[in-house]
Structure 1
Amino acid sequence: MSQQFDEYMEGRFELYGTEYKLVEPENIDELMQAFDVKYALETHISGLMHDEDSSGYESLLQKQIDYIHEYVESLGEFESSTLANNIVYLAKKHGMRVGELENTIGVSAGYLSRTIKENSKKKMSIDIVWKIAQLFGTDIKTLTESEMWVAHTNTDLLERFLDRLYEDTRDNFFTWELDGGVMAMLSDRYKVMGLITEEEDETAVYHANHLNPDIKWVLAADIVFLERFEEKKDLVIIPYKSVEKNRLFGYDFIFVWEDDRRWCWEKIFYTSDTPFGSLQERAKKLYDEIEWLEFDAKLSPKVHQMISNYVKGGRPE
């Protein structure tokens, strides 16, 4: 009985009323549990006073580290296009370049670039995979097995659409144009379509059938658009707000085009479509970038790319 009890208690310990057990991982899920135990021990040891004996906990920590290393060695290294695509997606999502990610997790310059390159023969160690998972708030299983870059809901898809628009705007791939309404003169096409009317003081009132009709909505800033984003259709952003309550605002994304001398429009999406604000935050970030670029020197995407290459050390062809 005593031997059975000793075997049961081996590797078990308690921290702040919570019972833990050292984990000898045999799969990815158990590896995650092992890392959790390791982290709990490290946190506890770092919080001990200088005169408190930590040797017992350090012994447990070392044993847990050994278990992790044994499993890691059995895995070897990861070779996965899923992993590579996820790393690229997460880096872009957080506005990081691969070189910045390498610096953040403490690997040599070019390590990730070479590893995630298509058809690369280099493999990534699980230690690096773990660091990347921790950095981006995910886990190893998700990072190596799930297609995180694939939009699984309409909201996911729209978030990525806005992220891409922001990136291409920031990198000068797009040139947004003004249709006015606040600082600039309002284009007549919105009046013709019945979307906007102007009052005597030139306040642009927005008549959106998806918004509360008991609230007066006006343009919060100038309407902007990308010409012929989809064939003959312009992609238009309409920023609006409530006259009475400044905290009520949003962005409507619509297509506008001319058909047989008649102006037409259709909904792409509205930031009010989701109740949690993820679309609104991204749309605001995009619009703020567009506004800021209004005061920047104007360069065509082609000229911008040519000058960028030259500044980086290239030579005109």
Structure 2
Amino acid sequence: MQPCDQNWTHVTEFATLGFAEVHEMRLLFFTLPLTMYLFALVENLAIILVVGLDHQLRRPMYVFLTHLSCLEIWYTSVTVPKMLAGFTGGHGGKNISYAGCLSQLFIFTFLGATECFLLAAMAYDRYVAICMPLRYGALVSWGSCFHLSAACWLVGFLTPILPIYLMSRLTFCGPNVIDHFFCDVSPLLASSCSDVTLKETTDFLVSLAVLLTSSTVIAVSYGNIVWMLLHIRLAAERRKVLSTCAAHLTVVSLFYGTLFFMYVWTKVAPSINFNKMVSVFYSIVPPMLNPLIYTLRNKEVKGALGRAFSFRSWKGQ
């Protein structure tokens, strides 16, 4: 919180500073994120198209995967284009309206929370498939899959409502420069001249609720899977079980690992430039790697990709 000055005017728009300090390396910092962003878009669109077109992939596991890919496309598109636009400006910064800033923060938080719940739903799917295979069709039917996915999106949408409302009640009276490439919580609170104690407490409790709920479901699901693995004697069966959940477990580790650095480590060792670099990694790298993780070890998806994009399929043979 900054001390209020009667001579300051209320802020109606913000200027994101971006990476103004890397002016001489602007081309590299523009090209690398752009390439990764385009890769993320193409990969996730390919997953959505393949699962939608291939009848052999019409199963709950792959339905959850299409939801995740759709979310990743939106997630990167909320922040990355704005960051790239910052590199084209004269001083590395671009203006964003007050309403646009809050909207960007709302969508970013909404999608982040939804991903937590989607990963939890996918962990439950893996638990039922491995530990209760005979009841899988009943417990994870098309109806329950639809309801689980809809619940993830709904709860994710409700998550930022109170935090964003409290943010809208704060007074921003200058300077209007945000030392970041998008409207994140920390730089916005730093530029406010209101008491942000209630806002910070609410953010902490909401984030804690989302993380505890989703991580508990994931931990319990994989705890049961590990318990089952301990009772399997055949090495081949153990490898089969591990291969079934390896991709999801890798994605969960990547997501929560970057989340830890984003919201925990950066609080312990605060550095504006380091925070921005972690944000770039968090915004681009997981959405780019997740489709690769799910396809490299998945014969069904690789086979579907081959059928969908083979030359013969285009000729209708």
TM score, norm. by length of structure 2: 0.21
Structure with max Cα Rg: 1
More relative contact order, 1 or 2 (CA 8 Å, 6+ apart): 2
Determine which structure has the larger strand proportion and give its number. 1
Determine which structure has the larger helix proportion and give its number. 2
